[in-house]
């Protein structure tokens, strides 16, 4: 317990926030600080073929310790944290023997993590919760996954009596901005399949995710002195508000769940002459996903018909697709993870990801890659937390999967 706790606390205190506006890989230089540390640590625990490329992708090998042929499997996590909330100066707080009470993160600013709002906290009575101090995110997404993979590999090195095939591990930059797999060398990685350790609640096992696109809406107006604006001024902010209102107001993240898709306004910035709206579009069903994109284009066309040609310009770019299509033909890779959890007394929660992982892109690049829980909750904000016991269970799942693949031969 102390081993994985110390490792995780060390990782989260290194700022690795990614930047969607940057065109470099990694998108921020500070990601290199943890990347180089991880490469060194993988060597120190006894892994082989440790490499870190010019884009900060880290790969390493735990050689097989069995004589018979076993598929090569992989475990992957990302080391960047979300640009949605500050990752600078993370000061994790440890709450031992949690009993279901409110946790005061910052008394001065009255920031409280409460089970009355975040009822998942009640699942972890008697356990150790690691939280933020209310001023930053925590970074369990996905430094918990990294801590689990490193700890599992170290355990396998130290316990050669546990039989396993060749295992590859990889840590990636820029997953939070949708680029985690963009420069991932699948051939170099050389695994038959892999798992991302990037889920939330204990037991999560996911092989379906959103189809995803980003949309940038630029609205053009005309500035005129407001005292003489009659018939002349075009206020782009008001037209942008029309655009927002013309989309279904119940098809937003806070009103949807399960397989329900949404339009999410992530950011808006405007003045009279120019307003920009940044949306993400999500749906598990490809047909509905395509309809959502067309719906946004249709709204722009309707506003242009009303306010003038090119008043509203929209650009939509696909980001990733539902991995289900690539995983279903090889469902044994999901089954072995499910069996591993069952044998450890963990109830598998098989459900669609309301998001995406590196695995969604990697699956389309030839590396089928379901997602397994890493244990954290409330990602991307000040209320993020992770139970220490959940990280231990995730570590045990990694070890058990490796053991089962070797015993089955698959």
Encode pLDDT of 39-81 as tens digits.
Answer: 999 999 999 999 999 999 999 999 999 999 999 999 999 999 9
| Mean pLDDT of the 344-356 span | 93
Does residue 208 have an active-site annotation? Answer: no
Give the pair of three-digit tokens for residue 282.
Answer: 């999500």
- Give 257-261 contacts, CB < 8 A, sequence gap 24+: 257/354, 258/351, 258/352, 258/354, 259/284, 259/285, 259/352, 261/210, 261/285, 261/288, 261/289, 261/292
Q: Please give the class, per CATH, of domain 211-320.
A: alpha beta
CATH 3.30.70.360 boundaries in the chain: 211-320
Pairing mode, strands 48-52 and 58-62: antiparallel
Give 200-212 pLDDT, tens digit per residue.
Answer: 999 999 999 999 9
Q: Does 302 have pLDDT greater than 80?
A: yes
pLDDT, one tens digit per residue, over 375-384 is 999 999 999 9
**Per-residue pLDDT band at 250 (split at 50, 70, 90):** very high
pLDDT score recorded for residue 409: 64
pTM: 0.89
Query: Which H or E run contains 93?
Result: strand 93-95
What does the pLDDT look like over 75-133, one tens digit per residue? 999 999 999 999 999 999 999 999 999 999 998 899 999 999 999 999 999 999 999 99
The one catalytic residue in 41, 148, 154, 175 is 175
| Active-site residue, from 15, 19, 41, 80 | 80
- pLDDT at res. 269: 97
Mean pLDDT calculated for residue range 2-16? 97
* pLDDT the model gives residue 355: 84
Q: What pLDDT score does 163 carry? A: 97
Stretch(es) of the chain classified as CATH 3.40.630.10:
2-209+322-408
Residue 410 has pLDDT above 80, yes or no: no
pLDDT value, residue 406 = 96
396 catalytically annotated:
no
Superfamily of domain 2-209+322-408 in CATH is Zn peptidases (3.40.630.10)
Dihedral pair phi/psi, residue 364, rounded to 5°: -80, -10
Report pLDDT for 380: 94
| Cα–Cα distance measured from residue 89 to residue 92, given in angstroms and rounded to the nearest whole number | 10
């Amino acid at each position: 317990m102390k081993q994985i706790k110390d490792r995780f606390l060390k990782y989260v205190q290194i700022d690795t926030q990614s930047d969607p506006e940057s065109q470099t890989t990694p998108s921020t230089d500070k990601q290199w600080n943890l990347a180089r540390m991880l490469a060194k640590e993988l060597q120190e625990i006894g892994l082989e073929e440790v490499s870190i490329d010019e884009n900060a992708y880290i790969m390493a090998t735990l050689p097989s310790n069995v004589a018979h042929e076993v598929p090569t499997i992989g475990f992957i996590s990302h080391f960047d944290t979300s640009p949605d909330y500050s990752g600078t100066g993370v000061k994790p707080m440890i709450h031992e023997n949690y009993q279901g009470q409110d946790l005061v993160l910052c008394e001065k600013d009255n920031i409280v993590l409460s089970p009355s709002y975040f009822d998942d906290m009640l699942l972890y009575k008697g356990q150790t919760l690691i939280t933020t101090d209310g001023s930053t995110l925590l970074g369990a997404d996905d430094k918990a996954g990294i801590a689990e993979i490193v700890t599992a590999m170290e355990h396998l090195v130290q316990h050669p009596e546990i039989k396993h095939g060749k295992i590859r591990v990889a840590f990636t930059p820029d997953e939070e901005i949708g680029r985690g797999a963009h420069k991932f060398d699948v051939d170099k990685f050389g695994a038959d399949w892999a798992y991302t350790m990037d889920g939330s609640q204990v037991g999560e096992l996911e092989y379906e995710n959103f189809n995803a696109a980003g949309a940038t809406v630029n609205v053009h107006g005309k500035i005129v002195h407001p005292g003489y604006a009659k018939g002349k001024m075009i206020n782009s902010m008001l037209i942008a508000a029309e655009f927002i209102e013309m989309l279904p107001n119940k098809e937003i993240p806070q009103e949807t769940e399960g397989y329900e898709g949404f339009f999410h306004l992530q950011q808006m910035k405007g003045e009279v002459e120019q307003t920009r709206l940044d949306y993400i579009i999500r749906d598990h069903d490809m047909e509905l996903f395509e309809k959502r994109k067309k719906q946004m284009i249709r709204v722009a066309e309707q506003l242009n018909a009303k306010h003038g040609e090119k008043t509203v310009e929209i650009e939509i770019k696909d980001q990733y697709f539902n991995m289900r299509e690539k995983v279903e033909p090889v469902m044994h890779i999901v089954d072995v993870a499910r069996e591993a959890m069952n044998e450890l007394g963990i109830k598998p929660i098989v459900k669609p990801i309301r998001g995406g992982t590196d695995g969604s892109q990697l699956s389309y690049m030839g590396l089928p890659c379901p997602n397994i829980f890493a244990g954290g909750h409330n990602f991307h904000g000040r209320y993020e937390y992770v139970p220490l016991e959940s990280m231990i269970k995730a570590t045990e799942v990694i070890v058990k999967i490796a053991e089962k693949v070797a015993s089955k031969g698959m």
